[in-house]
Structure 1
């Protein structure tokens, strides 16, 4: 929006003002001041897009499929919103979501819609393809939007990038200030980069969806299925802070739990994004709701509840995890570290499923 556009629509607003009983002279005074200050109003609320001539290295796929991932030289991204920050990436992890998004176009319909809504329909600002993966990172802040108050240039931060945004498998990444905080000082960049995305997901699972705390967990027993991945290893530590927890990965245990009354099963494998990809936003959401109702009323015995958990941005969770790290109550579990040039091998490693902990990319080596 610019001053001429603003002035054009001011004439339409004038008619409404007068119809509502406003004095004509009062409106002229208001309108002239708004017109005079229009440039200041809009330039101070939305940062101008800088014309970057600097370039960076970024892993991108122009079409879906891991074989299409290429290390490219592209423009350093610009800050487009007042609350955004530009970060020079020191380390980033590879999550199963990254592999699914780039290899199978997982969640494409949902992420394209969120991307469209995020920038008020201006898809030219952030096209979905080429696509850069990477949901979490550690890095140094090099630029901030004018409404950012809690983060400064040169701060070392850790955080996440929303799944519908271009990711952190690049030398620079743009994200929002509510998705980052200052990195805990007692762990390395590699260790810190392994935790933000899985940490928020695990915290949401335990606190938000599970409603668990030390007060609520007295007398409870908790089992974890598939506790060898990034989220599983973090959940195991988180549960040990609350109660005695056992990591179990056998199907027999699942059947035993399903037969236990007053049990709650929280799954991280929601069919929502797949259903939306296959059926569209409306019918995909309706199908997912129907599946949740069916599994809770027909599939499982009475007294057993099924819930689906998922990632959503939670800065408070990130800060709480940082405190636990600084107090030595939890620790990052790293499976393997790859150089930036070997990122494709890191994706293949995560895709294989043969890992204990997180896979991290070192951008400084």
Structure 2
């Protein structure tokens, strides 16, 4: 089978498509034939070596966290799935390996794919959808009447966060570039801000929650826009950032929460129900496996807005 692997940290040139033996399963595992896998910023932060404290430095390493596909084999202990089922799910966040013809998972890492979405859309849903759920419901605690600012609103997570925050009854202000303003409005944002024309720090209103998807807005800069008891949520944890946030939160009503993604089968089933109910899953660009370096180069450089997916035929 084909699998994307790399033997050292570096840029997209370290990624290679190699032939590997097909994996085998134990009694509590399933073998999934991957139809599509999505691209996430965490992927390139890992292969660049920025997350080595969490990912480790042993090689070779695989790439890709979330996927959609068809159950090929099931172990004797598997009860909820059978060969031929269409599913979507995730692998270990800092281990990866979804960009392969086959992956091995447990039942707790997958859910049935909704019939009303494609494999491409299903692959785009787990990491960014679970992140948006965790941010909106757990970290920011968004609820009816809240004023929410989403910075970087038309990235993968932001597209879902807009929709979820609106479902919770919040008033959403979305910050994006000129090309993303229409999409943010279409997904439900009450107002949009073009960051090339207006500085966020000059906004007159104050917010119950500020969610920064861009990794460019500091907590210090965000504090002036927060209400006295409000929450700032940022992405991509670091040991120093987590420590600073912890000690700050002990003494201040303005909280700084940092996303540490915690995938779960329950979360996947929630996403499946949301997709069946009309959650929009915009896939901006689709690549094939032969163009994997181009796919990561373009996405890591910001040339693709929203979600990008790699298909495996």
Give 1 or 2 for the bigger CA radius of gyration.
Answer: 1
2:144 matches 1:218? yes
Higher-strand-fraction structure:
2
CA contact (8 A) 2:223 2:254 kept: no
Residues 271-286 of structure 1 correspond to what in structure 2 (within 5 A)? 271-272=238-239
TM-score by length of 2: 0.80
Give the CA deviation at 1:236: 0.9
Residue equivalent to 2:235: 268
Secondary structure in 1 matching 2:50: coil
CA contact (8 A) 1:142 1:153 kept: yes
Give the CA deviation at 1:257: 4.8
Deviations along 1:181-213, one digit per CA (max 9) or x if unpaired, are 11000011111111111111111112222334x
Residues 328-343 of structure 1 correspond to what in structure 2 (within 5 A)? 328=278, 330-343=279-292
Residue equivalent to 1:160: 90
CA contact (8 A) 2:235 2:259 kept: yes
CA distance in 2, matches of 1:346, 1:210: 32
CA, structure 1 residues 257+226, in 2 after alignment: closer, same or farther (shift >3 Å)? farther
Give the CA deviation at 1:231: 0.5
* Stretches of structure 2 lacking an aligned partner (at least 5 in a row): 177-198, 204-220
CA distance in 1, matches of 2:31, 2:94: 17
Secondary structure in 2 matching 1:341: helix
- The equivalent position to 2:165 in structure 1, one of 239, 255, 279, is 239
2:15 matches 1:85? no
TM-score by length of 1: 0.69
143-152 vs 338-347, which moves further: 143-152
Residues 10-89 of structure 1 correspond to what in structure 2 (within 5 A)? 56-65=1-10, 66-79=12-25, 81-89=26-34
CA distance in 1, matches of 2:152, 2:255: 19
CA distance in 1, matches of 2:122, 2:146: 31
CA distance in 1, matches of 2:97, 2:112: 19
Residue equivalent to 2:180: none
CA distance in 2, matches of 1:128, 1:77: 20
CA, structure 1 residues 259+237, in 2 after alignment: closer, same or farther (shift >3 Å)? closer
182-191 vs 354-363, which moves further: 354-363
CA distance in 2, matches of 1:154, 1:293: 46
Residue equivalent to 2:304: 355
CA distance in 1, matches of 2:103, 2:95: 10
CA contact (8 A) 1:228 1:355 kept: no
CA distance in 1, matches of 2:244, 2:144: 32
Deviations along 1:280-312, one digit per CA (max 9) or x if unpaired, are xxxxxxx555312444468xxx53111112211
* Stretches of structure 1 lacking an aligned partner (at least 5 in a row): 1-55, 113-126, 273-286
Give the CA deviation at 1:350: 1.4
